[in-house]
Each structure stands twice: as structure tokens, then as C-alpha cells.
Structure 1
């Protein structure tokens, strides 16, 4: 499989610093299918998930079609992939619409926010 296509995100990357688990993973080139996006447990309820969801909102606001690329390159030039667990929690919380596989590539290339969803306030946890 060839390297996935990365989409430029025209904003500054804001890393999650509350734990060693990032919400956008560097060096992860593995795509995932829509079938893999699930989460049985609650979000690690945390500020980490809220940070991820705020990032999704920021990205959707600067992308021409409002869709959030799974594979991205931010202003710092680093290639990253969204964290699959965070995507699963976002789906379970109805933050995003159910992802769909690209019909040619057979994996998820973008996710989309659920219309009307409101991002958590800075410092607010989710769960």
C-alpha cells in the first residue's frame, strides 16, 4: 500500500500536553476502515477528548468543504493521523457523522462534524 494522501491544515498545530497519548499521531501511516471506528467505553472523559473535539472544530472551519482529513500536515510541516480511539469516542458522543470508506481507496480519508454540534469550551471535559 502506498503512503496515504496528506492534506494541508492552514492553522498552527496545538498538541495535547495532558498525557503522553497524542490526539494526532505522528509517524502513523496506517489507514483505518469505517468498520474499525467504534468505542465501547466512554471517552477517557477527559480533557484529552475535549481537546481533540475542539481541534476538529477548528479544522472544519478552515477546510473549504468543512470535512476533516484523517491524514494531515499542519503549518509545522509534520504529517499526522487522527487518533482512532478519539474518533471512536467522537462517534459515540455524536460529535461526528458515521465515517465512510472512500469508495476507491477503501479506507476513511475524512470525517465530518455532526451539524449543530457545539465544541466543548476551553478547559471543559467531556464524557
Structure 2
């Protein structure tokens, strides 16, 4: 259980990241979902395409000897791009009343469990706020 909720505090222990806050110190707690960026794969694609066009237009290579290495490079780029099934990167973030923000990257497999724990925290926080106003 990465997120442990006690009656007056919340503890988070995930891999090497640990933090602990009192209930009243937490301003916001939630999950962030960011789309993966493929700068390396896109840059490699542009570089291979540039080299292939250069060989095609400005070199004396006969019989298209540059095509096979270019196709192999494209194959490796496609494998690198689509070999990873995780399309998104997930973070747990907490903002406190002292204007500090902590982001912790989590694995996609742990997202459901941590999401349920955050939901239970939000339910408990809602019940506490109702008891204060009643």
C-alpha cells in the first residue's frame, strides 16, 4: 500500500520516494496523466530520412545501396516507438499549504491501486470537512 491514511496524517512510500503530511497541511492530492513524448525516435527518423535523401540526391552511389541500411534503421525506430505499450506516464502529486509541490512518477500497473487510495483520502477529507461545518 503506497499511500497510508491515518486519522490525522497521510504517508506515501513508493520505491525510494517518501513523504508524510498532516491532514490539514495538504492542499491538493491527485494523479497526473501525461502523454509520452518521442523526441529520440522522431529525431532518429528525421536523421535517417535526411541521410537517405542526401545519398539519393548528392552522391554517386549506384544501384541504391543506401536503401537497405535506411530500411533497417526505420525498422529499429518503429520497434523502439511501438515496442513500449505504455502510452502515458503517471505521477502522484501533492501540494501543501506551504506552496511546495511534490511529484512522484509511478508505474502504470500501480495507477489503479494508488487511484483508489487517493479516492479514499478524498472521501475521508470530505467527511472531515462536513463534520467541521456541521
TM-score range with shorter-chain normalisation? under 0.3
Q: TM-score, normalised by structure 1?
A: 0.23
Higher relative contact order (CA 8 A, sep 6+): 1
TM-score normalised by structure 2 residue count: 0.22
When you count helix as a share of all residues, which structure comes out higher? 2
